[in-house]
Structure 1
Amino acid sequence: MKINGLYLNKVSGLGTFILPMTCIRVCQSIDKCLLHMKKTIQTFISLLLLGLLWVGSAKALPTLLHNVKGYTFADGELKQFNSILFEDGVILATGEQEELSKLHSFSISIDGKGKTLLPGLIDAHGHLLGLGLNLMRVNLRGIESEDETVKAVVSYAEKNPDTRWVLGRGWNQVLWLSKEFPTKSSLDKVIADRPIWLSRIDGHAGWANSKALKLAGIDKSTPDPEGGKIIRDENGEATGVLIDAAMSLVENKIPPLNKKERKTALKLAFDHLISLGITSVHDAGVDFETYKLMLELSDKNRIPLRVYAMLSGADPRLEAMLKFGRVNQPFLKIQSVKLYTDGALGSRGAALLEPYSDEPDNKGLLLTTADKLGQYLALITKYGFQTNIHAIGDAANHMVLEELSKLDEDRSAKKLRHRIEHAQVVVPEEIPMFAKLGVIASMQPTHATSDMNMAGDRLGEERLEGAYAWRTFLDNDVVIASGSDFPVEKANPFLGLHAAVTRQDSDNLPEDGWLPTQKLTVAEALKSFTIDAAYASFWENKIGSLEEGKQADFILIDKDIFTVSEDQIDDVQVLETWIEGKRVH
């Protein structure tokens, strides 16, 4: 058979080989022809073996991604490069293309076309199951009136007639003209035959219709549970809004999620985060059922980004999970516990040392006493686990710092890297205590720009000095691990970077930024979403920066965040997400 001037022939045991036409023409004798054939066969076998060798090692062939504007951190300092070389998911080097090309002459070469390359971003505080469920339920985020919120609920209910409960999240009365909590009556007018339960955007308050209240057994005589509050009208009747621990009265009546629903929610959350350039996430509080599911998904290699899961301190099977020990797998690490000490500022549940400026008889809600927190710390540190403690108000932060200061060296924050989640309102004089004790401040920049329209009302001007005080924390050598607290806020990390740098909302207001002396630089903000967030999860030797020996987790974006105007950072689009050297988005 002749193809492109070559004869293809079969030889028993060797398969097809290539015989040049010149061999046929030149051969004047059988001996000469056989000699040429022998040499051709030997050449073909050599090429065949080389080809087989190449095919066998194709997966291990290094990849050189060049022509990029690369940024990373090395020894805490920002470093630039135009090429990155990686193999089997591990970084071999970053630097200049010519230099890296010499390291491996045989490699897959990819042109980055001048795009900006960053380490994969890490969200140090989010709620995976909550995000997934939020994507499955009615989303009330950003709606600017109670009436419009109710219309959205009705629309969802009509499209989902078979749901036993109408569930949703995201309402925020601060955005409404009245700024008042909603009532059950507005829901009762449109849906009376199905129970409705709608979580506030911060997850620290819920709004129910009469059907849900009845199922929960809530009436005029129902007492406020410890750590919670039933909002009542002038006659003492429940209005439909429940704060913090009171929420469980309704939530305990909602049919529990089945395994399929959990898996669906987690998959939706994973895919959503990867599309946003998030390659690792700290899941702030997983219950026993989600814990089991994550272990199962990890064993089956079904977790596509790196998850640092915090066990829920509220789960009655906490000690059983602690006894199982630490989990350290490529895409799942578990060695921390999430605790709560107070509520949120927006619902006036954050525990303050002095009363709220706009509600003089209210100091918020302390959900965990100092004695109980001490007991939790004793239990959790006994198993060598990190403790990550939700504290928003200055009273809650003060209590947590006090209890952490009592731990001996082997159980201390310097050893186990204990964290305070949010650290939103802190007495300024107590901020240096974070560094002294080794406590990590796990903060969410978009909380400041979401809360700025009410924080002054809640706190008054004087207490704002220690509120959302990122610059003060950094100036006192405190490690900040940044996140979003999704689904409380949107998961997009570039909204967080923008908020940290500008102290402005998505409309770039206020003009000079809210409390502008607390702004971060772009490098400082990026560090808090990368290597410092990795440190907060004991993963700093594996991820968080693009250095030799670390995992090739990185993203390509459409704008250079170090050169564009700061007000454009929240418009950045993620073009590609790579995890362990593989493009996953």
Structure 2
Amino acid sequence: MTWTGSAAQSLERPGAVLDLAGATITPAFVDAHVHATATGLLVDGLDLTGCPSPRALLDAVAARAAARPGALVWGHGWQELDWPGPAPDRAALDRAAAGAPVYLSRVDVHSALVSSALLERAPAAVGARGWSSGPLSTQAHHHARRAALAAVDARTREAAQRAFLADTATRGVGVVHECAGPDISSVADLAALLALAGELGPDVVGYWGQAVRTADEARELLAATGARGLAGDLFVDGSLGSRTAALRAPYADEPTHAGHRYLDPDAIAAHVAACTLAGVQAGFHVIGDAAADAALAGLGDAARRTTARAHPAHRIEHLEMLDPAQAAELAALGVVASVQPLFDACWGGPTGMYAERLGPDRAAGMNPYARLHAAGVVLALGSDAPVTPVGPWEAVRAAVAHRTPSSGLTAAQALTAHTVGGHRAAGDRTPTAGRLVAGAPASYAVWDGTDPLGGAPGTPRCLRTVQRGRLLHDTLSDTPGSAG
């Protein structure tokens, strides 16, 4: 079915009615921030989520290197917070890898453990900040990541992308926003994903995170990449877990360090103004409060430079630390906040990673969703997969059950942010986008009888996912009407 309508109208359309027998139907979800290839590579890579110690990590690398001598060892998900000692040094990793190139991203993907064999493929990383020992971060990490991705052949990349799209469809997601860029993936990777998305799986809205200074540069880059906008992971700073998020005051657990900033307000303003003049979305990755200061200064400057032009809905990813005045300013500028509630579920609370990095007082103000919503900022929910898994109901529940009292959303607000908000974040202001309304193209998900928001334990199972009339996932094939 590619239509919704009244019961009377359905009499004129044989097979248009689906008897859900007590199941729940929602709009298809939108995941507003993903990295498809990196997530899909974990199907055949080393999933280090929950890895309990440096020794366990090294053992996993050794086993993989022995099974596939000389092949790239791609892994993701380790975090050292509860480890009995520091992350392995490069010498230990080299011994485990037996000469193989190794790339193991930390859970936040802003630092990574890499082997010497991989560094040989990333000569620009040598000499960059922090390259000589321990995990690589900032630009050294970006160089190493590019080298690791270059070692992934086209067949493996396609398999990873197919696995990601197929799995995402089973979770009731009809649209994903791919946040690509020169420091995250590649033009070829984004092109392959966009081509594949037309064949199967959810719709893909592609973003490319690379700064420009003129409208002509913006248009040329969009033509070269096929992206919807120059946004997503265009880094203003890094992450709290890797201590590269830019802070106004130093880290509580590293008092001599206040993070790293990649862009200043002038570069931000130039990028936003160029994109505005070209009529396309701009956007940035922003985590720390100093990065938020820079982003707001640049956005405000760009707005003053382009007062005579209609402004697209520019966006900011993550936006974890900001004060009430900044929330009001974002709303006035029409900026969409693309946020990840599972970050709070994983690292929030009085004893979580945020409290360890920032101290409990600063950590208590993290991810202020209620403040943003009250100010009138459009929210779009996502996962940042592979940082956290694609899981719409898990994200909705995390937004509602925020670990800081009064910072969460209501269930209705969270559901809207994960459906309508995702379309708004992509610049789609069509009144029917993300809603179940008569006359709209059918984009919906059907869930088993578990009440998703009624407090019942467990996560509801997706029975069917349809996006714009395309059947993406189905366990109801015995029911008349192939798409609903």
Q: How far apart, in 1, do the equivalents of 2:154 and 2:345 lie?
A: 36
Which residue of structure 2 lines up, in the alignment, with residue 577 of structure 1? 465
Q: Which has the larger radius of gyration?
A: 1
Q: How far apart, in 2, do the equivalents of 1:252 and 1:311 lie?
A: 15
Which residue of structure 2 lines up, in the alignment, with residue 37 of structure 1? none
Which residue of structure 1 lines up, in the alignment, with residue 369 of structure 2? 470
Which residue of structure 1 lines up, in the alignment, with residue 476 of structure 2? none
Aligned with residue 308 of structure 1, among 202, 205, 213: 205
Q: Which letter maps to 1:250?
A: A
Q: Please give the per-residue CA displacement for 1:373-419, whole angstroms capped at 9, x wherever unaligned.
A: 23322333332110121000000011101111112479579721111
SS of 1:262's partner is helix
Task: Give, in angstroms, the shift of residue 423 of structure 1.
Answer: 0.2
Task: Give, in angstroms, the shift of residue 462 of structure 1.
Answer: 3.0
In structure 2, the CA distance between the partners of 1:410 and 1:264, relative to structure 1 (3 Å rule), is: farther
Which residue of structure 2 lines up, in the alignment, with residue 64 of structure 1? none
Q: How far apart, in 1, do the equivalents of 2:292 and 2:205 lie?
A: 23
Q: Is the 8 A contact 1:543 1:551 kept in 2?
A: no
Greater Cα offset, 370-379 or 480-489:
370-379
Aligned with residue 391 of structure 1, among 276, 286, 290: 286
Q: Does 2:6 match 1:111?
A: no
Q: Please give the per-residue CA displacement for 1:479-527, whole angstroms capped at 9, x wherever unaligned.
A: 1111000011111222211211223xxxxxxxxxx21221222111111
Q: How far apart, in 2, do the equivalents of 1:239 and 1:264 lie?
A: 33
Q: Which letter maps to 2:55?
A: D
In structure 2, the CA distance between the partners of 1:419 and 1:93, relative to structure 1 (3 Å rule), is: same
Q: How far apart, in 2, do the equivalents of 1:334 and 1:305 lie?
A: 16
SS of 2:409's partner is coil
Task: Give, in angstroms, the shift of residue 161 of structure 1.
Answer: 3.1
Q: Which letter maps to 2:241?
A: G
Query: Where in structure 2 are the equivalents of 1:101-250 lying within 5 Å?
Result: 101-102=10-11, 104=12, 106-161=14-69, 163=71, 165-178=72-85, 180-213=86-119, 216=122, 223-225=127-129, 229-230=130-131, 238-250=132-144
Task: Give, in angstroms, the shift of residue 368 of structure 1.
Answer: 1.5
Aligned with residue 271 of structure 2, among 358, 376, 389: 376
Task: Give, in angstroms, the shift of residue 216 of structure 1.
Answer: 4.6
In structure 2, the CA distance between the partners of 1:414 and 1:490, relative to structure 1 (3 Å rule), is: farther
Task: Give, in angstroms, the shift of residue 324 of structure 1.
Answer: 7.2
Q: How far apart, in 1, do the equivalents of 2:88 and 2:29 lie?
A: 37
In structure 2, the CA distance between the partners of 1:169 and 1:483, relative to structure 1 (3 Å rule), is: same
Q: How far apart, in 1, do the equivalents of 2:119 and 2:230 lie?
A: 35
Q: How far apart, in 1, do the equivalents of 2:436 and 2:382 lie?
A: 20
SS of 1:429's partner is helix
Which residue of structure 2 lines up, in the alignment, with residue 521 of structure 1? 410
Task: Give, in angstroms, the shift of residue 155 of structure 1.
Answer: 2.7
Q: Does 2:397 match 1:498?
A: yes
Q: How far apart, in 2, do the equivalents of 1:411 and 1:472 lie?
A: 28
In structure 2, the CA distance between the partners of 1:382 and 1:290, relative to structure 1 (3 Å rule), is: farther
Q: Is the 8 A contact 1:428 1:466 kept in 2?
A: no
Query: Where in structure 2 are the equivalents of 1:446-485 lying within 5 Å?
Result: 446-452=342-348, 453-485=352-384
Q: Which letter maps to 2:326?
A: E
Q: How far apart, in 1, do the equivalents of 2:387 and 2:191 lie?
A: 25
Which residue of structure 2 lines up, in the alignment, with residue 552 of structure 1? 442
Q: Is the 8 A contact 2:393 2:452 kept in 1?
A: no
Larger RCO, structures 1/2 (Cα 8 Å, 6+ apart): 2
Aligned with residue 166 of structure 2, among 253, 264, 271: 271
Task: Give, in angstroms, the shift of residue 218 of structure 1.
Answer: 9.1
Q: How far apart, in 1, do the equivalents of 2:115 and 2:221 lie?
A: 41
Q: Does 2:423 match 1:534?
A: yes
Q: Is the 8 A contact 2:61 2:97 kept in 1?
A: no
Q: Which letter maps to 2:154?
A: K
Greater Cα offset, 115-124 or 134-143:
134-143
Q: Is the 8 A contact 2:228 2:281 kept in 1?
A: no
Normalised to the residue count of structure 2, the TM-score between the two structures is 0.86
Query: Where in structure 2 are the equivalents of 1:425-436 lying within 5 Å?
Result: 425-436=321-332
Q: Is the 8 A contact 2:36 2:178 kept in 1?
A: yes
Q: How far apart, in 2, do the equivalents of 1:259 and 1:212 lie?
A: 19
Instruction: Count how many residue pairs are aligned between Structure 1 and Structure 2.
Output: 460
Query: Where in structure 2 are the equivalents of 1:336-351 lying within 5 Å?
Result: 336-338=230-232, 339-351=234-246
Q: How far apart, in 1, do the equivalents of 2:82 and 2:444 lie?
A: 36
Q: How far apart, in 1, do the equivalents of 2:154 and 2:127 lie?
A: 34
Task: Give, in angstroms, the shift of residue 169 of structure 1.
Answer: 1.2
Q: Which letter maps to 2:108?
A: D
Q: Is the 8 A contact 1:428 1:465 kept in 2?
A: no
Q: Does 2:5 match 1:93?
A: yes
Q: Is the 8 A contact 2:35 2:384 kept in 1?
A: yes
Higher strand fraction (1 or 2): 1
Q: Please give the per-residue CA displacement for 1:466-487, whole angstroms capped at 9, x wherever unaligned.
A: 3111111112221111100001
Q: CA RMSD in A?
A: 2.9
Q: Is the 8 A contact 1:471 1:520 kept in 2?
A: yes
SS of 2:97's partner is coil
SS of 1:415's partner is coil
Task: Give, in angstroms, the shift of residue 556 of structure 1.
Answer: 1.0
Q: Is the 8 A contact 1:350 1:393 kept in 2?
A: yes
SS of 1:143's partner is coil
Structure 2: runs of 5+ lacking an equivalent: 474-484
What percent of counterpart residues are identical?
27
Q: Which letter maps to 2:20?
A: G
Which residue of structure 2 lines up, in the alignment, with residue 51 of structure 1? none
Q: How far apart, in 2, do the equivalents of 1:559 and 1:407 lie?
A: 49
Q: Please give the per-residue CA displacement for 1:161-204, whole angstroms capped at 9, x wherever unaligned.
A: 351x22211111124244x3332243234223222221111110
Structure 1: runs of 5+ lacking an equivalent: 1-85, 231-237, 504-513
In structure 2, the CA distance between the partners of 1:259 and 1:188, relative to structure 1 (3 Å rule), is: closer
Q: Does 2:433 match 1:543?
A: yes
Q: How far apart, in 1, do the equivalents of 2:438 and 2:221 lie?
A: 33
Q: How far apart, in 2, do the equivalents of 1:326 and 1:267 lie?
A: 25
Q: Is the 8 A contact 1:115 1:558 kept in 2?
A: yes
